[in-house]
Structure 1
Amino acid sequence: MIAAASECRVSLPPVIEYDADRADLPLVVVPVSIPSMTTLLRDRLDEFAGLARVRIHTDWTDDEDVLAARMSDATVVMSTGFRASARLLERIAGRVRCITFCGTGAVSFIDLEAARRLGITICNAVHYGDNAVAEHAIALMFEHTHRVGELNARTHQGGWPGADITELSGRTLGIIGLGGIGRRVSRLAHGIGLRLLVWDRHPDAAELAALNAESAATMDEVFSRADIVSLHLALNDATRGIIGPAQLDLMRPGALLVNTARAELIEPGAMLRRLSRGDIAAAIDVTAPEPLPDDDPLRTLPNLIITPHVAWRSDRALAALVEQNVRSAVEFLKGGAYNVLV
Structure 2
Amino acid sequence: MSSTQIPVIETQTERTDLPLVVMPTVIPTMLEPLTACLPTLRDLARVRLHTDTTYDEETIVERMQGADAMIDIGLHISDHLLDQLADHVRCFAFGGTGVASFINLDRTRELGIRVCNVVHYGNHAVAEHAFGLIMELTKHVGRLDREMREGQWAGMDGLDLYDRTIGLAGFGGIGQTMACIARGFGMHILVWNSHLHTDQAAQFDAQPVDDLGDLFEQSDVVSLHLPLTQATAGMVTAKQLDRLRPGSIIINTARAEVISPGALLTRLQRGDILAGLDVFDREPLPADDPLRQVPNLVMTPHVAWRSDGANRNLTKQIMQSLAAFYRGERMNVVA
Mapped partners of 1:13, 1:79: distance in 2: 18
Offset, 1:339? 0.6
Name the SS for the 1:299 alignment partner.
Answer: helix
Name the SS for the 2:167 alignment partner.
Answer: strand
Structural mapping, 1:1-342, within 5 Å: 14-342=7-335
Mapped partners of 2:7, 2:98: distance in 1: 28
Mapped partners of 2:141, 2:188: distance in 1: 23
Consecutive unaligned residues of structure 2, counting only runs of 5 or more, are none
Name the SS for the 1:44 alignment partner.
Answer: helix
TM-score, normalised relative to structure 1: 0.94
Name the SS for the 1:29 alignment partner.
Answer: strand
Mapped partners of 2:152, 2:57: distance in 1: 48
Deviates more, 1:99-108 or 1:326-335: 326-335
Offset, 1:255? 0.6
Mapped partners of 2:122, 2:279: distance in 1: 15
Letter of the 2:49 partner, please give it.
Answer: I
RMSD: 1.3
* 2:242/2:267 contact within 8 Å kept: yes
Q: Deviations over 1:191-229 (max 9, x none)?
A: 211101111111132221122221112001011111111
* 1:86/1:115 contact within 8 Å kept: no
Offset, 1:160? 1.7
Mapped partners of 1:160, 1:210: distance in 2: 44
TM-score, normalised relative to structure 2: 0.96
Q: Deviations over 1:18-43 (max 9, x none)?
A: 11222111111011101111121112
Mapped partners of 2:154, 2:47: distance in 1: 53
Letter of the 1:158 partner, please give it.
Answer: G
Q: Deviations over 1:270-328 (max 9, x none)?
A: 11111111111111111110111112111111101101111100100010000000101
Mapped partners of 1:48, 1:223: distance in 2: 47
Q: How many residues align?
A: 331
* 1:90/1:118 contact within 8 Å kept: no
Letter of the 1:110 partner, please give it.
Answer: I
Name the SS for the 1:126 alignment partner.
Answer: coil
Structure 1 runs (4+) deviating above 4 angstroms are none
Name the SS for the 2:149 alignment partner.
Answer: helix
Mapped partners of 1:95, 1:210: distance in 2: 48
Offset, 1:13? 5.0
Percent of pairs with identical residues? 47
Mapped partners of 1:51, 1:177: distance in 2: 38
